[in-house]
Amino acid sequence: MPNRTLSKLRNFRLGPEWKKKTGQLNSKLSEFSRLFESKKYPTPDELFFEIEDLPSMGKEYWFLHFCAPPREEQVILTMGRSVDPVLVNGVAVPEGNAQQGVVCAAVCWLQSSNGKQVIFDSSARVRLEKGREKNLLEARDGGSKITISGKYPHFDVELVKGGKKIFTARAYHPSEGKHHEMVHILANPVAPRFGAAMINYYFEFDGVLEGKKLSGKAYLQKVVATMPLAPWNWVRLQFGNGAALDVFTGKPFGNSSGLRFASNYYFEIHGRRVKLHSLSIQTYLEGERKIWVLSGKNFFCAMETYALQPFVMRQKTTFRYDEYLVRVKSFALREGGREYTLSDLGGGVGLAEDASGYLF
């Protein structure tokens, strides 16, 4: 089955209108890349603070993650859309346009000392304002809203439910490590006209969650893509001493296939990234009892789930995206002459994603 599917993808041909629209987006993504690398335009906000005119199969989404290890409070804000209407958790999310504010799928939730709370569970209308002093991205659904304002390298984030501020944060440059990076993917040997661009911001933050001060690490991302959504696993962990672990594995033919596409696995400590190779991901049990194990040469990490939020999207196909909050139970890494254990890192928490199905 995988070989036949690959053959079909290699022989896939795009119509002239689709080629035109995809070419326009590719041109925009190339311009974003030049903008990012140019000394004249040193910030990547042009991609983050933008609502795109998406072509067929186009998608864009924003993702914000806040955590404060070794504490288990986390805040996750996800907003996204495809060019075609979609059902999200059973709620219809129609097409929109950038001038009126687009309707996006939105699943935003948090874990505090008071337990889990869901703020958005289906859709929100997203609008954008650009200014000399600051940019504003706002998502609103009734009396709940998310606002992201500012200009790189300082962003203010506010989450409101029923008129009450639930979470506020001031994000700024981390004390060490990368501040941001652009990932620009257009050359694809299987489907060369598909592509994506994303901006990843790495921040520290100071904030207030449900009336209590909270400080830690923030990860903000914007993605623009012209490709189907296909299965993946992503694990991003933060540790008490500032270290981080990032592991992404694409599973284009699902769990039953052995084919995996790995991105740049890394462990970051004191601003230095250590590349990890040939990691495997195993899971045990289901739901909020799920156990995650990452392993490879000279590496082992075991995590247990303590909260879960599902995200189901339906068009002609179904795509399920589950977000798990995890705590690290065991960690071991030997790198050169150095060894790291969980006690060296000061405890760890983070996010594990499990995506299955397809959305075209």
Largest CA distance in the chain: 58
The CA–CA distances, whole Å, from 342 to 1, 217, 247, 329 equal 41, 18, 17, 8
What is the mean pLDDT of the segment spanning 110-133? 92
> Strands 261-262 and 266-269: what pairing?
unpaired
pLDDT of 66 higher than 90? yes
**HSE (side-chain half, CA atoms, 13 Å) at 162:** 3
pLDDT of residue 257: 52
What is the mean pLDDT of the segment spanning 315-338? 94
pLDDT of 103 higher than 50? yes
> Looking at the whole model, is its pTM more than 0.75?
yes
Burial string for 294-308 (b: 16+ CB within 10 Å, else e) reads bebeebebbbbbbbb
Q: Mind listing the pLDDT tens digit for each residue in 162-176?
A: 999 999 999 999 999
The residue written with tokens 């993808």 in the block is 9
Domain boundaries along the sequence of the chain = 1-227, 228-360
Q: Which segment of 24-38, 79-93, 256-270 scores lowest on mean pLDDT? A: 24-38
What is the mean pLDDT of the segment spanning 182-187? 66
Interatomic CA distance for residues 326 and 290, integer angstroms: 9
pLDDT of 258 higher than 90? no
Four-residue CA torsion sign, 340, 342, 346, 347: positive
Closest CA to 342 of 304, 286, 307: 304
